[in-house]
Amino acid sequence: MKQAAIYIRVSTDAQREEGYSIDAQKEMLQAHCVSKGIKDYSFYIDGGFTGSNIERPEMQRLIADVKQDRISHVIVYKLDRLSRSQKDTLYLIEDVFNPHGVDFISMNESMDTSTPLGRLMLGILSAFAQLERENIRERTRMGMKERVKSGKWMGGGRIPFGYDYDKKNGKLIPNKDAERVRKIYDLYLQGYSTAKIAQMVGLKYDKLAYQILTRKSNAGYINYNDEEYLGEHEPIISLETYERTMQYMKERYIKRVSESNYLFTGLLYCGKCGAKMRYQKWSKNTCKIICYSQDKAKTHLIKDPNCNNSKLWANDLEDVVLKNLFEYAFKHSNIETENISNMSLLDILHEQYNNTAQKLKRLYSLYSDNDDDVLLESINDIKKEMRNIQTQIEIETEKSQNQLNLKNVKKTLSSLSEAWEYMSPKEKKVVANGCINKITLTDASIHVDYRFDIVK
């Protein structure tokens, strides 16, 4: 036996609005069922869920019951209670309800999809619901930007370590962990690594120490959509300390890269679990390559604690990869790159763009004097043409750059094996990183993935 389904959704904000509470919707929808002679019905109630998607517990239960042919009608108080997304609304009606003979009734809009007029009304009203949702999102985004510009925190769940969030005033307030944040900066500037700092101050991962160090919110600033604003909250550290830390971090990175003799650091990956691999000292003058899943010191890099990939001698690995690299270089150094210049074409495209822009200015001038729909249509056509020209300019510019890069690569590869022994360790690493994307090790098997493929 089929029965009607009364669906009720209440978002967090809507619970405060008169007429949208769960009890209010239940009362009105029950009265509607009585007026229509519908006696057998069940409630499906999602409390505190957004209408921007259909990933709601009771909505999913309703869909499942519809697909099992248990439902005759779906009844809601208002269309946006079902969904605020036009795509989701049409999906539910066209792909879930209609194929199973389920009629959809929206009490507020007097809609019944069993009639042609009801189906027409559905398309119109769902479009308006989608528009309202997009308007709400845009207003929220604009409001958030103004909020941040005034110095207040964005709110929400991502509160920086060392702060609490005061909802009443919209500000961050330093908490008991603020002293640990200061300690992290002090230790880093003393030369300690983030891994050591994490152990010393009781953090779970060294990555957390790094994240804390790089947050400018600790110095009183707020970053929103890649823009920076001075916050009203009390800084934990001074701006000078933050900037000194960032400079020191940059210097330490450059030093670490330049001083390391490990040729393929950062390029090694485990073929069994997908984790990164690293060099590990094995004796005074030797190293092995091991998977980070087998290294318990950095638990956040573990992909599979049971990974049994073999440990390979670093010298053996480097010999094999370098031989492969030299063969690759020799093979491709003889391939002629196309001697095609896109500059003349780019010049033509830039000239077309400038001429079209001038034409657009004239049309705007005419439109300001005469509000003519034909002129407006011409303006839109010109703007579309300018977008197409700009796209062609970007494509041709990229082609020119790729051609130049390819010539430079060919020049490097042509003498790589002869020049290798005269290169410094740093130069070798630069070349290796420039040519190789990743090296995958699966026991004794080594696969080299290059950053480019000269053969087209």
Catalytic positions, please?
Answer: 11
First to last CA, the chain: 64
Closest CA to 279 of 261, 296, 306: 261
Q: Can you tell me the distance from the alpha carbon of 266 to that of 408, in angstroms, rounded to the nearest whole number?
A: 24
Question: Which one-letter amino acid corresponds to residue 135?
Answer: N
Spatial contact of 249 and 425, defined as CB atoms under 8 Å apart: no
All residues at 6 or more sequence positions from 144 whose CB lies less than 8 Å from its CB, including other chains: 154, 224
Spatial contact of 221 and 232, defined as CB atoms under 8 Å apart: no
Q: Can you tell me the distance from the alpha carbon of 315 to that of 283, in angstroms, rounded to the nearest whole number?
A: 13
The set of long-range contacts for 348-355, using a CB threshold of 8 Å and a minimum separation of 24, is 349/389, 349/392, 349/393, 349/396, 350/393, 352/389, 353/386, 353/389, 353/390, 353/393
Q: Can you tell me the distance from the alpha carbon of 135 to that of 132, in angstroms, rounded to the nearest whole number?
A: 5
Spatial contact of 408 and 327, defined as CB atoms under 8 Å apart: no
Spatial contact of 111 and 125, defined as CB atoms under 8 Å apart: yes
Q: Can you tell me the distance from the alpha carbon of 20 to that of 12, in angstroms, rounded to the nearest whole number?
A: 11
Q: Order of strands, edge to edge, in the sheet holding 103-106?
A: 41-47, 3-10, 71-76, 103-106, 111-112
Phi, psi dihedral angles at 455 (to 5 degrees) = -75, 120
Spatial contact of 37 and 105, defined as CB atoms under 8 Å apart: no
Give me the residues paired with residue 165 across strands.
172
Widest distance between CA atoms in the chain: 92
Q: Can you tell me the distance from the alpha carbon of 52 to that of 64, in angstroms, rounded to the nearest whole number?
A: 20
